[in-house]
Amino acid sequence: MRADAKRNYDKLLQAAREVFRERGLEAPLDEVARRAGVGAGTLYRHFPTRDDLLNALMQAFIDRLDAAAEAAIAVDGSPRERLLCWIRGGVAEVTYSKGAAAKLTAALGDDESRIATKAAAFAQASGRVVEALGVDLRPGLDGVQLARLVGGLAMVVDQGDLDESSFAPLADVLVDGLLAPTVVGS
């Protein structure tokens, strides 16, 4: 890639990061080009669709999501506490940008999605938590299912601008439902 192209590519990513954070993932793309100081055509050359731009932005997001999963697995406490840590961490990361939860959850079952690799990373991070919790979880649960539930809760938070006191009881319901019957109520 030519030096000026690389520079424009980076300027677009930085501008998109700012614009999407301020105005959500449906923000006008011409604002992204304008703030990056490039023509509209340059944006479309580098990122043919909005989701391609989003996909490039999401690398850092996935890194944080992986870190949240590792942190949850490493929690020194009960299975319940480890699971709750992942649900809290996962929801917090996935709701970082308005609309991201819906896009990621939709991409979980769609290989054709432009952000399919990011959704797969979300499912894999969930899968690592599932494996770490092992027999403490209800049998048959897999990473995709857990990611869907975390994504669903994240969408509720995203749509409703829920604060901590509204979020906590919903997370509790999810945790109790996810734990193996013998552990529930302990």
Partner DNA sequence: ACCTGAACACCGTTCAAGT
Which residues contact its own copies (rule: CB under 8 A)? 102, 105-106, 108-110, 138, 140-141, 145, 148-149, 151-153, 155-156, 159-162, 166, 169-170, 172-178, 181-182, 184-185
What's the alpha-carbon Rg for the chain, to the nearest Å? 18
* Per CB under 7 A, 48 contacts DNA: yes
* Per CB under 7 A, 98 contacts DNA: no
Size of the site for DNA (CB under 7 A): 21
Rounded to whole angstroms, the Cα distance separating 26 from 87 reads 26
Nearer to its own copies, 24 or 160 (CB): 160
Which of 22, 24, 39, 81 binds DNA (CB under 7 A)? It is: 39
> Residue 153 CB, nearest distance to its own copies (Å)?
6
DSSP 79-131: HHHHHHHHHHHHHHHHTSSTTHHHHHHHHTT-TTSTTHHHHHHHHHHHHHHHH
Give the distance from CA 114 to its chain's centroid. 14
